[in-house]
Each structure stands twice: as structure tokens, then as C-alpha cells.
Amino acid sequence: MIPQKDLIVVTSAPHLHSPDNVPTAMRDVLIALTPALLAALYFFRLPALLVILVCVISAYAAEIVCLKIMKRESPTRESSAIITGLLLAFCLPPSLPLWMAVLGTLFAIVVAKHLFGGLGQNIFNPALIGRAFLLASFPVAMTNWTNPLDGLTTASPLGIMKEAGGEVLPPLGEIFLGSVSGSIGETSALALLLGGAYLLYRRQIDWRIPGTFLGTVFLLTAVIGGIKGEGLWYPVYHLCAGGLLLGAFFMATDWVTSPVTKLGRILFGIGCGLLVVLIRTKGGYPEGVAYSILLMNVVTPLLDRYTKARVFGRVKSHA
Amino acid sequence: MLVAILSLGAIGAVFGIILGFAGKKFAVAVDPRVEALLQIMPGANCGACGLPGCAAFAEAIVAGSVKPSDCAPGGATLYEQIAAIMGTEVSAYEERKVAQLLCQGGYGRTRMLYRYEGIKDCRAALANFKGPKACDFGCVMQGSCFKVCPFGAIEMGADGLPVIDYYRCTACNKCVVECPQQILKLIGVSHLVTVRCLNTEKGKDAKANCSVACIKCKICEKNCPEDAVHVVAAGEGSVAVIDVEKCTNCGICAAKCPTKSIDMISPLSEEVVLEIGTTPDAGCQACGVCKTE
Amino acid sequence: MKRATFKGGIHLDGHKELTSNLPTVVAPVPDRVYIPLSQHIGAPCVPLVVAGDEVKKGQKIGMAKAFVSAPIHASVSGKVIGIEVMEHPGGSFVPCIIIENDHQETWAETVQPAADPAALTPEELCAILLEAGIVGQGGATFPTHVKYAPVEGKKIDTVILNGVECEPYLTADHRLMLERAERIVAGLGYMLRSISCTQGVIAIEENKMDAVAVMKKAVAGQPNLRVVVLKDKYPQGSEKQLIYACTGKELPVGELPLSVGVIVNNVGTAAAFADAVELGIPLIERYVTVSGPGICHPANYLVRIGTLFSELIKASGGCCGEVEKIIAGGPMMGNTVFSDELPVVKGTSGIVLLHKEPHRAQKEYPCVRCAKCIDACPAFLEPTSLARLAKRSAWEEAEKSDVMSCIECSSCVYACPAQIPLIQYIRRAKQAILAAKAR
Amino acid sequence: MNLKNEFTKGIVRENPLFRLLLGMCPALAVTTSVNNGLGMGVAVTGVLLASNIVVSSMRKIIPPGVRIPAFIVIIATFVTITDMLMHAFTPALYTSLGIFIPLIVVNCIILGRAESFASRNTLLPSVIDALGMGIGFTLALVVVSAVREVLGAGTFFGLQLLPENIPALIMILPPGGFIALGCLLGLMNKFQKKTA
Amino acid sequence: MQEYVIIIISAVLVNNIVLSQFLGICPFLGVSKKLSASLGMSGAVSFVLIIASFITWVLQTYLLTPLNITYLQTIAFILVIASLVQFVEIVIKKFSPPMYKALGIFLPLITTNCAVLGVAIINIQNEYSLGKVMVHSLSHAAGFTIALLLMSGIRERLEDADIPESMRGTPIALIVAALMSISFLGFSGLT
């Protein structure tokens, strides 16, 4: 007897599925990152291009090698490694030696992602781990900012704010457009807002995380600004400067490492916001977005556990 | 020097007295035998004894509600050790058993009704028209047994059927309990001849669906010199069954069976069989994983 | 206007335009009908006939003694030629009574209209429900008379007729409401009377405004009956979600609708009830939509119970394209069957033939924790967590996580971008928990 | 009893750090340089040896009820002696190991060996066991600290190996300890799997 | 007041006892597979840690220092801790069986937990007053609890993760600890 071909498929309902799948989601994120990519290339030119290329290529290569070693499915249809590489490049200074970028990418992909079992199983956002790893390893190279206007080495806006040294803060308009010193992809608030809006429109991210994240930062800095006697520009400046928008729209919202429950997401956003303001105002670093999101990644499993929704029809006291 | 000795002695004495006092005052009795038993248990927490884990089994031994031999993975060595702790005699000799699959209907041998798509779970596949195979008695080939085996003794073969590594099998019974078709059975390793089909349909129907089904031809029955194999009534029909008491492992029925639904294998090599009743090496490797939690 | 609805759920492409405007066709009566002994939830019937018996249309040919059960009737007149085990749309094998049609269409003597429908007592009405073998027409096939059997101390204040039909492709209920509105309203009237309930609600989704208009006209002048228009969302037709959408009441976990004073029935059930009371005809035919991309000429049919799928597919011009799945019922909750040689039963609301979905990859992706399943779940569960628990057979934990509250609407699987068959894992967990309880 | 076996098991097969997962705290804390790792290893070996000798020779005298407290006192005594010796002879090492010298007292390796081996065996095997375990632990510490020192500071025993700007500072920061040990354990497992 | 706040922030976040001081690694890795177990463990450790800090401080200030036998510190402290643990175990076993069930199996493990002895020694090294000793040990207990709970939350999630065979168990736990430790670097310099 031979196995019959062309048998009808029998399986469990449902037999219809949403056209959204993992690759389309990845594609949407890539599309959303395009404005920031263009802005980065416009402001930082060749150095940025090189860092981005190096990160993306090494991320992709690392992904393929890891999957080969672990004998897992080919990732060619997913672009998650490319996104990781791109996001990591976005939070690196354009002047970073390329071999450091490669090292950070490898650490991100291998340690933060594949040691945990690959896509969907990591606890920490790989790109942010890559950045934090590099920052801890090469603190000097990682805080060497070039100003895109004159190519000179300057402190980042937040650094100037923190040190309150002789340097003058760049005007808000420049911060908004992105012609200030900073990491490759984080300087242009406008481009990041465009990307974030696209993701929200495509429903690939939940408004709760960026909403509460940015909201918390805005409120707290407004209060602090009020105490300091600064005007409304102070909280707005905090929103647009540094990696806040990049983090809030693209990294805190990472599906894998953020909570799955709605309440959990709200708490996650608030937690990120609190930590950012804490580190920016009281901590040892001028910028705290990466650390704040990583710290909230740590808390995510507990948030998920304790913010489960009440099951339909469960009496409230029971839940 | 003296101060040191005195003060340290004093500290020691004070705490010694407190502890001694507390130990007496607040003593709670624990049977030391339970502890001792727990030390020697295989620690697989396989549940073959019907109790939730080795700790429960140790308590049950002390309570006298189970026999040492209820622990299948333990083997003779364990029974002796338990007997030593409990101060009893070693229970009767028990033959080593291994789980065997009573179905040979892999891909290409049994007619398929449809292509199953979905989770790898036999019960889930059975929910659709009793599984993708036309035969309702055979292996569903989704590997539920493979998933529950705590000893890695089961793998899924290329023909879709589970392949059991008899050397690794500890007869823990987990796969037997898990199998929804009840086609896995613990069989003593000295029984070499087995009917590997449980299809009770009429010979014609069975044959139409599967090339290795028992077709109730009774050839085995007629040829058995010991009168050990019979086609007996089962379910709504009948199927060949070997009486292990009478069977002498001559293998004539296996040779004569037209569909080869009876086969003859020696699950374990001779030297292993000689040590019947011992814990197989590949079973519990005392990795301690089960004990850490 | 903001339409009432439930929380969670998904928006589906209904594909209803394929058949929603096609008037129902009476399907050709086949030469043979195959009537399964079990077409309902509950005890299967015992056949009352043997091979060789002459039967008449509407004659009772099988019944069970159990309370939760429904009798079956011959849908044609002719000769019983045997009882054979056949594939059943529910995903099992069931013995079927096979009747050779003599095409005489002689009615059985038992088929008698009630002398004075207005004078029937609740008990008599309930008896008619039982005798006519009426079961839920929406697909669940729960024997209707059980719902209307009085329960001590429980008062029903609302009967909801489910005209939601949230499954894609299906338009049988839609056509029924357009074509037999007055029968539905009459049936609802009998239902209300049999439990002395005052309020009747007919729930229809906003994508069927023509049916809304017709039903509104049909209930005009009866102030205790109203038509509720609901938002277009799946799974609105699920009992719990429908009750919430219509009344705002949340059915407690593990309770029947009874506990919140509600009974939910399909519109088709009401129409069948009216037929049984006023004409004495038991449930021997029903509306069936034959649709999907794999069908050449999709259509709505009025079909005798026991007609083979293949006859209906043939009547619709046969298959077109490479059919991957044949579904009995709607594509969200219906079962796939492995051949077309199986009969239409009381719960068959549609036959949908699907091609391979172009956007479906061969293998599932790992869960990326996007939480789309959680957002989609109308029971507010976490399907992905439940599936994970089921994957490692952590049944107890799954039970603690309320896996039993899953209504198996499959919204989560639809929404899942990683294409994980969440619902299968969940079903497996439920099955294991029930098995453990039974032990 | 095969003494050679008793000796080698502690080095490879039952390496206290890599296989038995004992003594994690010092393995993470003091392995920022090979110097420290080696010093720690030697100190632990010394204490282990001394306590094993005493425990083994006194095993028949100590009543089982107060076994653990007695062992701890014995161990603590030797730790204190070690502490003083190091303070006197290796002041630099003493400062850099700091609190982790008194903490040798609570190193599970020592109590574990006393409890599971020395209290059940005669003197000679106990000595051999202590030596094997101690050397195994020392080797493990040296490996971990070598990885961390080379990658994190670019040096090995203070010798400059890598150019100034290459080393990743993180390896001698706290996370580096976890990373190095975690990866080494993973590699060990993989290696073990292949040979098994 | 300022000093106390600095002690708290430093002990809980900046110099977290587990993630940057490497004390109490064994229970941190060993008992963090289940959230419930880690709750029990951190409860037991916190309890013993605080009481032991108090007793060892008293012992040091009123016995060892006046008698000029501070070299006996290690022996004396470990004796205190060992006895304390055993005492607590006996008492709990007698008076609160449910609590014993929850904490009992962890108590013996605490004797060899370097967190307790470590904090006791740090207290003395830093020459804290009694008030600061209590705040300090309390914050370290909190730091330990937080680290353990977060770790067990993560490890419960990792239970379903498809981690490479050789990384399962302790290796991946160490990697998680590493990444947690990297995240906690964000607090460095916090004042």
C-alpha cells in the first residue's frame, strides 16, 4: 500500500487567519524606522552609514550562524536580526570604531537573544543590551559625540544639561529636527515621531507604552522644571532630546520584552518614565532611556504575572 | 589567649545551651527512615508507582501502603536497599519489563484518511475522525509517548511510529498511561513473540486499511505447537492473543503469520537479560535535576 | 449611533456578499438520504426502524430515552435499506439510517398541525419541541426542549434570538430572516409562552440591515419584542458574548444563561418551532449556505436532513480550484471533513470549501508575545500562556489560569501573527482536565 | 579505594565550581584578576586541606547531632588563621580579596567536603580529596579570572597582552563575572555532552 | 537623614548585594526557579540577615572590641549565625508549621549563605552605628529580595523558552544575572 497523495487537510478550526504575520510586522517596523534612517544619513553622513551597515550585516550574519549552530529554522523570512542591528546602530555614536559596533551587535544577537532560545524568548531587548554592553565596556568611545553641523566633538544636549558647564544648549528647533550631536538614530525627534505614528496607525504597537512612558517623563520633568523655575520648554526638551522617542516608540514597545497585559503595559510605561527621569536627574549618566527600559524588561515577567485581566464572568473578588 | 578561649567558649556555651534547650522543648518527630529512603530513591519522580513523586513513595513505604517493587525504575538494587532500611526481606523476583508498541502501521502500511495539520498530540489528532489513519486501533503517530518519556527512550521514527530504545526504557509506565490508543504495553523481556496489532475488525476490513493488521486467519492458532496463541473475542470483534504462560518463544506463529502482524524480537541482548531486574544504566543518571526543586 | 457589542473579539472579512443576495433555492431531493443517529449534543438515538421498513416523510425513526437528546425523523418517504457507520460532520463516525427515496413525499400520519396553537399550554409546547426533534440550529445542536424545561426557582425574563451569524461566508440565517421573518416571530412567540416570559429580543449584526428592516416590520405591533442591532464583530454569536451585548449581563463562569434569566436560541430554531406547532412538521430540513472560494456557484439551499454534501456541491456547480479544506459549518468554528460523502445534519449551517490561504507559511513562528491573542480573546484569557502551559502538560496550572472559560471561538488563532494553533493546545488542556475530573 | 581517582575527580569530573556549582560567590567576586583568583584558590585549598584533616581524624569523636556546628567552628578557626597569615605575608592580596577571606567560612565546598567526604573517610583519602578539590577549584578560578582579566583589562598576571583601547571594561565589572562564568559553564556542558 | 537615604539607595540599587557584590549567589541561582520558593527563601534570608546583623553588632561592640579579641570575629559570627538559623528553624517548626513548610527547607541553606555573614562583616567594617546597621541590613535584605523575585519571575518565563541544551539551568541563570547586572549599572552614580 502506498500513501495516498492529495488528501484533504483535516485540522482544527479556525480555517481563516489574519493576513498579519510575523514577517509583515517586521516589515512595518522597518518602514517605521526609515524616516529616522534617512535623517541619520542626512545629518551624520558616511560615519553613520558605516556604523549602520556594519551593525545590520553583522547582526544578520550572527543570526544565521547561531541558527545554523543550533540547527533551527532559517530566518530568511524574518527580519528581526536586521531590526536589532538597525536599532543598535541607532543608539551608537557615529564616531564609534566599527569593530566595537560589531562586538556590540554580536553580544546583542548571541548573548541577549540566542542563548535564550532565539526569537520571542529573550527577556531583554537585544539592541539595548548591546548598547549597555558597549557603554560599560568602552565608556569613552561611547560618549564621544560629534556635532553634525560643524563636525566638532561636543557634549550631547542632555550632557550639557546635566553638567551645566560652559556649553550652550542647542535650540529646541534643532533638537526637534535632529541637527544636534547624539546617537545616530535618536537625534531627529520629527523622524521618530513619524515612524511611531506609522506603527500606531498599523496597530503594530500599543499606544499604552509610548503614551504612558512619554506622559510620565513629560509630567515629571514639567514638575522639576517648575521647581527649578524653567518654563514649558524644559519638559519638551526632555521629550525630544536624547533617545527617549526612539526608546519609547521602538524599544519599549518591543513585543517580546514588554508585558502582554494592558495594565502591565501601562505600568511598564510609567516605570520606564520614572526611571528615565531618575537617571537623567539624579544618576551618574546624562541619559537613562536604555537602562530604564532594560530595568523594566527585568520586571516584565512579574508585571505579566500580577496584572492578568479578570476573566469574563469571574466575580471580581475572586480575580 | 585566655580571654579568647574563655569568650569563645562562653559564646559557644550560651548558644549550645539555647539550642539544646530549644531542641528538647520544641522537638517535632520525623521518621528518619523517610529521609534515608529518599536518599536512595531514583529521584526520577516519574510517578510510575502511582504516587506524586519519590518523596511520597518513601513516605508510603514507611507507612506500609506500597511495596518496594512498586517502584519500577528502581530495580532489584533499590529493593534490597529499601529492605535494608526497613529491616524487611527482599520481595519476590521480578522480571525486567520494557514498553513495546503493539502497532506496525506506519506511513505506507496503513491507509490514511486525510492529512492532519495541527499540534503534535495524539489526543488532539484523535478528535478528528479518530485520527488520520483508517485503522482506529493503531498508533496515531503524533508522539505523545515520546513527549512524556522521562528517560529519552522513545524517538519518532521515519515511518511515523515511535521507536523505543529498550535499553533506556525503565518500564516507568508513563507512555503506557499516556497513549490514548493503549497500544503501548509493558512486556517482560523474556517474552520474545508478540502480536503487534490490536485491530478487532473483521479480517477483510482490517486488511483493507492496513497491510500489517491481524486478519484473524487463525494460521497462528493452527500452527502453534503449544496451543499458546488464539484469536479471541475482543471489543466488537476478535484479535490474536498470545498466552505468555504457554508460549515457548519458538517463533513459528511469527514465521507463519501472513501479514507479519506477529513478530519475534529480543528487546535486550543476552548479557543484559542476565542481569534481569537491575536498573538500566541509561535510566536515572542521578543528575540530581529532580531533587533540586 | 454606537451599536452595542461585547469586549474583545476580532473584525473579520465576512465574504457574505457571495451569497447574501441570492434567494434560497430548494435543493434537489436526493435518491438516498443518510440520517445519523446522533445529530445533537447528548445521548445518541436508538433506531426505531430496521432495514426493509417503509417509512414516511416526517416519521420518527430514532429516539433516545435520555433527557438530553432529540429524536430523528425521516426526511423523505421510502424504504430503509440499512444502518451503516458513516463520517459525521461533527468529526466522528456515527451510524446512519439510510433511506431509499421513493419520491412520493407521503407525509406520516403523525404530522398534524396543532388544532388551536393559541390554546397550547407550556407543557404541550415543550412536548412539541421534543417530539419535533428540534435542536439548536446555530451549530451547537443542543436539544432545545432541555432549555425550555422549567427549572425550580429560576425565572427567565428574556429570550434572545440569535440572528447574528458572525461566521464568515454563512448567510443561511440571513436569508431565513429575510424570507421567513413571520415564522421566526411566531416561533419566538411560542417560546415566550412556553416559559411565560415577556421579553423577546432578536439580535442582528449591522452588516445585515435589510434583515433588520424585515424583522422590525415583522415585530411591529408587538411591544414586548424588539430587534437589537449589534456591531459587526466575531464571535458575537457566542452565547455569553451575545447576552452581554444585548443585556449587559456577564454570565458567571461555569453557569448557564438560565442563571441570568436568559435563554438564547438561533433564529432558525424559532422558525422550526413555529413549523412544528402550526404545521406539525418535525425538523427534517434546514437552510444551508454552500460557499467559499472552492465553490463555483455559491448558493443558499433549503436542504433535507440527510442529503450528502456531494449533492449540494454538485448542485452548486462543483468545486473550483484546488480545494484544501471542506468545512462543515463556518470557517471559524466548523469542522473540516475529509470527504464530501457525508450527510447534512440538523446543525449544518453551511458547507465552505477553502483554498490554501496564500499568506499562511508552512510552519508556525515562535510566539513573539505580541499579545494580539489576548486582545482578541472575548473571555479575557491569555491564550498564549494557556497554550504554553498545555505544551508542557501543566494541566493544573492551566486550570488555575481559567482555561475552562475558553469558549473556543478561535479568535486568538485568527489574530496570531505567529500562526500558532493556540486553540488546539487549549482544547487539549480542557480535554485533559475533564479527563482528570472524570477519574 | 583508588587514590588517584579520588584526586582527579575533583579536578575534572567533579570540579567543585564547574560541575558541582559550589563556591559561586568567590568565583564571581574575586576573579577580576588572575592574581586574585589564584590567591583565593590557594587560600581555599589550604583551609579545605586543614579542615579535612581535622574533621577526618576527629570524625569518631564528634557526636552526629552537633556535627555541623563543630565543623563550622573547625573551618572558622582555619579561616581565621588563613586570614592572619595573608594579612601578614600577602598584604596586597589581602586587601584586594577583602571580605571574601572571612567568607571562605561559608564556602559550600569546604563544609560540603567535610560533611560528605572527610567525616566518612580515613585521613589519607580525605587529604587526597581535599587536594583534588582544592586544586580543581583553584584551576577553575584561574580559568575564570584569566578570561576576565584578558578580556576586561587586557592583561594576564599583570602583563599587558592587548593594546590599551581594546579590552572591554565590562568583563571586570560585576556583569562580566556572570557572563564569564555562565558562558564557561555552558561550554563545559557542551563539552561534557560530546564526551559522554 | 541624608546618610540613611544614601545607605538605602546604595544597598538596594547601586551596590545590590547579589548583582554587584556577589553575596548570596547560591540561593539566588538555586532557589529562583519558582516564584513561590524564592518568596520563601528571600523571606527566610531577610529574617535571619536582620536578626544576625543585630546580634553580631552587639557582640562585636560589647564583647569582641572591649576584650580586644576582634580576630575572633569570623568564628564568633559564624557561630551566632549557625545557632540562630538552627534556633529559628526549631522555633518555626514548633509554632508555625505552615511557615515551616514554606521556609523550612531554606533555613538550613542559610547557614552557608555568605549574604548573612557578609553583611554582618560589612556592618562592622563600615563602623556603622546600631541605627545604620539596622537600615543597612534591612536594605540589603530588600535588595536580595528584589533581585531574587525578579530572577524567579524571569526564570519562570524561561521555563517555556527553547534554550540551547547546554545553556539550560545554571548557565542561563548566570547570563540572566549578567544582563540584570548590566541593567542595574544604570543606577551607578545615583545619588
Using H for helix, E for strand and C for coil, what is the string for D32-98?
CCHHHHHHHHHHHHHHHHHHHHHHHHHCCCCCHHHHHHHHHHHHHHHHHHHHHHHHHHCHHHHHHHH
The strand pairing partners of C335, in sequence order, are C328
For residue C72, pLDDT over 90 is answered with yes
- Whether pLDDT at D72 is above 80: yes
- For chain E, helix, strand, coil in percent to 5 are 80, 0, 20
Give which of E88, B3, E79, B2 is closest to D75, Cα–Cα: E79
Answer whether residue D169 is part of any domain. Answer: no
Asked, for residue D180, whether it belongs to a domain, the answer is: no
Measured in angstroms, the CA of E188 and the nearest CA of chain A are apart by 6
> Cα separation of C425 and C420, whole Å?
9
Question: How much is the pLDDT for A172?
Answer: 85
Distance (Å, whole) CA D154 – CA D167: 5
Mutate to test the interface with E, among A111, A115, A255 (most CBs of E within 10 A): A115
| Alpha carbons C328 and E8: distance in angstroms, whole number | 66
pLDDT at position B84 is 76
The amino acid present at C170, given as its one-letter code, is L
Residues of B near C (Cβ–Cβ under 8 Å) read 113-114, 118-119, 121, 123-124, 127-130, 147-148
What number is the average pLDDT over the span A10-32?
A: 89
Q: How far is CA D136 from CA A251, B116, D147, in A?
A: 44, 54, 17
- Interface list for chain A against chain D, based on CB atoms closer than 8 Å: 103, 111, 115, 133, 136-139, 141
Which chain D residue lies closest to B288 (C-alpha atoms)?
Answer: D20
- Cβ C93–B147 below 8 Å, yes or no? no
Q: Which of B24-38, B209-223, C420-434 has the lowest mean pLDDT?
A: B24-38
Q: Give D104's contacts (C-beta < 8 A, 6+ positions apart).
A: D26, D43, D44, D47, D75, D79, D82, D110
Q: Which residues is C286 bridged to in the sheet? A: C303
pLDDT (0 to 100) of residue A215? 96
Partners of C46 in beta bridges = C63
The verdict on residue D156 lying in a domain is: no
Least confident residue range of A188-192, C159-163, D9-13: D9-13
Q: What is the mean pLDDT of chain C?
A: 91
Overall domain count for chain D: 1
Contacts of D89 (CB under 8 A, 6+ apart): none
pLDDT reported for residue A118: 86
Mean pLDDT, rounded, for C12-24: 91
Q: Which residues, 6 or more positions from E2, have their beta carbon under 8 angstroms from its beta carbon?
A: none
The chain C residue lying nearest E158, using CA atoms, is C388
**In 3D, which of A238, A203, A197, A237 has the Cα closest to residue A217?**
A238
CA E128 to chain centroid: 18
Distance CA(C140)–CA(C39), nearest Å, equals 10
Give the angle B162-B165-B170 at the CA atoms, nearest 5°: 110
Q: How confident is the model at residue B49 (pLDDT cuts 50, 70, 90)?
A: low
Looking at domain C16-20+112-278, does it have CATH number 3.40.50.11540? yes
Q: How far is it, in rounded angstroms, from Cα A183 to Cα E8? A: 33
Q: What is the pLDDT of residues B152-161, one digit of tens each?
A: 899 999 888 9
Residue C359 C-alpha cell reads as: 499568506
Using DSSP's 3-state secondary structure scheme, residue E107 falls into: helix
Is D169 in contact with A136 (Cβ distance < 8 A)?
yes
C196: three-class secondary structure by DSSP: coil
Q: Is A223 helix (H, G, I), strand (E, B) or coil?
A: helix
Helices (H) and strands (E) in chain D, counts: 8, 2
- In tens, the pLDDT along D130-153 reads 999 999 999 999 999 999 999 998
- Which residue in the set C240, C363, C369 is minimally distant from A255, CB to CB? C369
Lowest-pLDDT range of B20-34, B145-159, C113-127, E35-49: B20-34
- Each domain of chain C, given as residue ranges in start order, spans 16-20+112-278, 25-102+288-354, 372-438
What is the separation of C-alpha A225 from the centre of its chain, rounded to a whole number of angstroms?
Answer: 26
Question: The cell 461566508 sits on which residue?
Answer: C169
pLDDT of residue B73: 64
Task: Name the DSSP class of D145.
Answer: H
Helix or strand holding residue C88 (H, E): strand C78-88
Rounded to two decimals, the pTM is 0.88
Q: Residues for chain B: how many in total?
A: 293
The residue of A125, A298, A307 whose CB has the most chain E CBs within 10 angstroms, and thus the best one to mutate to test that interface, is A298
Chain E interface test: which of C388, C391, C396, C401 (most E C-beta within 10 Å): C388
In the structure, what pLDDT confidence band is assigned to residue B277 with cuts at 50, 70 and 90?
Answer: very low
Q: Which three cell numbers stand for residue D57?
A: 581524624
Residue range A114-156, pLDDT digits in tens: 999 888 889 999 999 999 999 999 988 888 888 777 777 777 8
Higher pLDDT, A73 or B288: A73
From the list E149, E153, E189, which residue is nearest A284 (CB)?
E189
The answer to whether residue D163 is domain-embedded is no
Chain B partners within 8 Å of A3 (Cβ): 107-108, 112
Q: Which chains does E contact via 3+ CB–CB distances below 8 A?
A: A, B, C, D
pLDDT band at A100; cut points 50, 70, 90: very high
Can you tell me the mean pLDDT for C31-35?
94
Summarize the confidence of residues B260-272 as an average pLDDT.
79
**Yes or no, beta carbons of A111 and D179 under 8 Å apart:** yes
Flag if C366 and E159 touch (Cβ within 8 Å): no
**Contacts with C385 from chain A: Cβ below 8 Å:** 260
Measure B22 CA to nearest chain D CA, in Å: 14
What residues of D are in contact with residue A138 (Cβ under 8 Å)?
Answer: 165, 168-169
pLDDT value for D71: 84
pLDDT tens digits in sequence order for chain E, 191 residues long: 788 888 898 889 898 988 988 888 888 887 888 888 888 888 888 988 999 999 999 999 998 888 888 888 888 888 888 888 878 878 877 777 777 766 656 676 777 778 888 999 999 988 889 999 999 999 999 999 999 999 999 999 998 888 888 888 889 999 999 999 999 999 988 77
Q: Which residues contact D88 (CB under 8 A, 6 or more apart)?
A: none
> How far is the C-alpha of B72 from the C-alpha of B88, rounded, in Å?
19
Which chain B residues are closer than 8 Å to C93 by Cβ? 129-130
Contact exists between C and D (3 or more beta carbon pairs < 8 Å): no
**Cα(A264)–Cα(A244) distance, integer angstroms:** 20
Q: What average pLDDT does the structure give for chain B?
A: 79
List, as one string, the DSSP characters of D14-34. T-TTTTS---HHHHHHSTTSH
Of A125, A114, A116, the C-alpha closest to A84 is A125
| Max intra-chain CA distance, chain E | 59
Please state whether beta strands C350-354 and C325-328 pair in parallel, antiparallel, or not at all (unpaired): antiparallel
Confidence of residue C387 (pLDDT cuts 50, 70, 90): very high
Average pLDDT estimate for B101-122: 89
- Provide the β-strand partners of residue A156: none
Residues E69, B292: C-beta atoms closer than 8 Å: no
Strand, coil or helix: what is B115?
strand
CB-based contact A7 B111, cutoff 8 Å: no
Q: Does residue C64 have a pLDDT over 80?
A: yes
Domain containing D62: what range? 3-141
Question: What pLDDT is stored for residue B85 in this prediction?
Answer: 77
Residue of D nearest to A133 (CA): D170
- Please check the confidence at residue A284 and state whether its pLDDT lies above 90: no
Taking CB atoms and an 8 Å limit, are B114 and A2 in contact across chains?
no
Give pLDDT tens digits for C193-235: 988 888 999 999 999 999 999 999 999 989 999 999 999 999 9
Q: Inform me whether the pLDDT recorded for A3 exceeds 70.
A: no
Considering the domain A24-305, what is its CATH architecture?
A: Orthogonal Bundle (1.10)
Calpha distance E39→E23 (Å, rounded):
18
Q: Cβ contacts (< 8 Å) between E164 and chain A: which residues?
A: 70, 114-115, 117
Measure CA D30 to chain center: 11
